[in-house]
């Protein structure tokens, strides 16, 4: 990591951590007015996050895309960007950061403990399909993360209404019906971009390794994740699964994406997706 990247990376992590604590404070102490201030704080953190990525790009000549640290950096950027975008379009959805900000903090904290060493890109990896594959992987991760966050908001608001407890912070959430629809839409968005990611990766793999599919552990878990979300969509469309059941599916299904991005490479180092760049 360059000095500039180090400075802005830790600045970003501190701001996102403070923002996560701010959202928890807003809900526990029923202070919804604090939420807008926390959203502004996340926006500042996002700017620092962008500068950190730019500093890494300038230092090594390509966007962060390889390894746990760089996946956490770019994956987290897309998640926060999506959170801020939907919050800007619809103010009640600013509360999605309640779940996405802590997720990004954990991701970036884990990533920096791995291998943040600056590395140039190997010539064999320079292919347009790589950028398409990785770009849509981050879009899918962002979509699934937003679905998880909307699921968390749904569960919190639904339980509050069942208990008859009035929490002004929850009242600022969208209605339960609206949250239910958003969960489905985010899942569908993630599923479509996930499909493009897998197809682009297969085409790239054919050029790089000589076969479209190698049953590599990361590939396999990506397929598992794709199947899980496909089943979720099927349950919704065919059997009418909605409300709390679908919210919990969106929350729990994200674990398969996290395993695909970080879990496999944490447990084993023989994956074809663990590149030794020279």
Task: Give the pLDDT means over successive 10-residue stretches in the chain (278 positions).
Answer: 89 95 85 83 96 90 79 93 93 90 94 78 70 91 96 92 81 90 97 94 80 80 94 95 94 92 68 49
State residue 273's pLDDT score.
Answer: 59
pTM over 0.75: yes
Q: Cα separation of 160 and 176, whole Å?
A: 11
| Token pair belonging to 260 | 């695909």
The predicted pLDDT at position 106 comes to 94
pLDDT at 182: 96
Q: What is residue 78's predicted lDDT score, i.e. its pLDDT?
A: 95
Token reading at 64: 């962060």
Give the separation between CA 253 and CA 256, rounded to whole angstroms. 6
Token pair listed for 101? 């900000």
Please tell me the distance from the alpha carbon of residue 274 to that of residue 265, in angstroms, as a whole number: 7
Residue 245 Cα to chain centre, angstroms: 21
Residue 122 is predicted with a pLDDT of 64
Which residues, 6 or more positions from 3, have their beta carbon under 8 angstroms from its beta carbon? Answer: none
Contacts of 36-40 spanning 24+ positions with Cβ under 8 A: 36/94, 38/97, 39/84, 39/87, 39/94, 39/97
Show me where the domains of the chain are located.
3-267
Q: What is the pLDDT of residue 268?
A: 64
pLDDT at position 183 is 97
Quote the CA–CA distance of 187 and 230 in Å, as a whole number: 9
The pLDDT, as a whole number, for residue 270 is 56
| φ, ψ of residue 198 in degrees (nearest 5) | -65, -45
Amino acid 276: pLDDT: 44
């Amino acid at each position: 990591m360059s000095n500039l990247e180090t400075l802005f990376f830790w600045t970003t992590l501190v701001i996102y951590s403070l923002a996560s604590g701010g959202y928890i404070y807003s809900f526990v102490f029923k202070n919804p007015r604090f939420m807008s201030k926390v959203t502004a704080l996340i926006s500042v953190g996002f700017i620092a996050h962008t500068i950190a990525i730019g500093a890494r790009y300038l230092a090594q000549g390509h966007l962060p895309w390889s390894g746990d640290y760089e996946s956490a950096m770019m994956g987290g950027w897309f998640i926060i960007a999506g959170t801020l975008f939907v919050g800007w379009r619809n103010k009640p959805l600013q509360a999605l950061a309640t779940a996405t900000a802590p997720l990004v903090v954990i991701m970036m904290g884990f990533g920096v403990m791995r291998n943040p060493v600056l590395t140039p890109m190997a010539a064999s990896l320079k292919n347009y399909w790589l950028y398409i594959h990785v770009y849509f992987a981050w879009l899918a991760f962002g979509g699934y993360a937003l679905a998880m966050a909307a699921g968390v908001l749904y569960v919190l608001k639904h339980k509050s209404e069942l208990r008859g407890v009035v929490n002004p912070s929850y009242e600022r959430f969208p209605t339960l019906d609206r949250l239910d629809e958003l969960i489905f839409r985010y899942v569908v968005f993630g599923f479509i971009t996930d499909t493009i990611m897998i197809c682009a990766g297969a085409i790239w793999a054919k050029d790089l390794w000589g076969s479209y599919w190698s049953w590599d552990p990361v590939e396999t878990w990506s397929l598992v994740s794709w199947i899980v979300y496909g089943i979720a969509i099927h349950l919704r469309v065919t059997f009418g699964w909605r409300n709390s059941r679908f919210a919990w599916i969106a929350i729990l299904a994200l674990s398969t994406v996290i395993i695909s991005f970080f879990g496999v490479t944490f447990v084993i180092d023989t994956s074809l997706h663990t590149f030794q760049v020279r």
